[in-house]
Amino acid sequence: MPEQDPRRRTPGVRRLLDRVIHQRRVMESEAASGVGTVDQERRIGALEQRMDRLEALLEGLQDSIHREMTRQEKTIAALNARTQPPELARALSKYSRERGL
């Protein structure tokens, strides 16, 4: 099997390298002409809008979690109160009277 010259590139790699070099030159020319600053300001504005929407969603999620936790705490407290020994004794006594046991 003949050894290949390491400096020799396949056509796909050559095209990829040409594209990267071309994009880099375009970016440098845009930066030099000031076209990129307008685009960056627009992109920054879009990112700020997205951040505002995400913050609003996060606040809504936090409020929802807080409401759910409060509801669950009340339910757990009610169940805990009903399972205390004096309360259980009262409930069993009432049940026995009602059922005639």
pLDDT, one tens digit per residue, over 26-47 is: 888 776 666 556 788 888 999 9
Provide the pLDDT for residue 49: 95
User: Which tokens in the block code for residue 17?
Assistant: 């390298």
Answer yes or no: is 6 within a domain: no
The reply to whether 53 falls in a domain is: yes
**Is 3 contained in some domain?**
no
Cβ neighbours for 74, distance < 8 A, ≥ 6 positions apart: none
Looking at the structure of the chain, the number of domains it has is: 1
Indicate the angle between helix axes 35-82 and 85-99, nearest 10 degrees.
60
Q: What is the pLDDT of residue 9?
A: 56
Amino acid 15: pLDDT: 84
**For the whole prediction, is pTM greater than 0.95?**
no
- 51-89 pLDDT tens trace: 999 999 999 999 999 999 999 999 999 999 999 999 988
Please give the residue range of the domain that contains residue 16.
11-99
Q: Is residue 51 one of the residues assigned to a domain?
A: yes
Average pLDDT taken over every residue of the chain:
85
Please report whether residue 5 resides in a domain.
no
Q: Does residue 2 form part of some domain?
A: no
